[in-house]
Amino acid sequence: MTELTTTANETLLADYLAFWNETDAGVRATIAERTFTPDVSYTDPQAAVNGRDALSDLVGAVHQQMPGMRFSPGDLVDGHHDLLRFTWNLGPDDAPDLIIGADVAVLSPEGRMRHIAGFLDRVPQA
């Protein structure tokens, strides 16, 4: 059972957001090694992928679809046992956030993310 301190939770969240913000696939791979298990799975209302490479490809597609957007931490990061939940924001630099969401991650015994479930709380209307 993994018990993470607040500092460990914040560090893991910082790495997770850095992964999502990184445009270089090689740098993302380095971040992924310390952040995710090799068989990580990720699901949200618009995607479901398995493995570090597939998750990195998803992030690359997000950058192509929404260039210039940046993820930032929201108001919540906490965890217990092998779970971590946190909120995040997505928007352009120096402008109001366009998308707000929350994720819940299941952690491996060594504290890396092995499954992430993403939720979109606020999305712009089409």
Q: Is residue 1 part of a domain?
A: no
pLDDT at 126: 63
Per-residue pLDDT tens for 11-28? 999 999 999 999 999 999
- Residue 49 belongs to a domain: yes
Q: How far is CA 38 from CA 3, 56, 60, 80, 104, in A?
A: 21, 12, 18, 22, 18
pLDDT tens digit sequence for 63-111: 999 999 999 999 999 999 999 999 999 999 888 889 999 999 999 999 9
The reported pLDDT for the residue numbered 5 is 55
Provide the domain count of the chain. Answer: 1
- Give the residue numbers spanning the domain of 33: 6-122
The pTM assigned to this predicted structure is: 0.91
Q: How far apart are alpha carbons 114 and 88 in whole angstroms?
A: 19
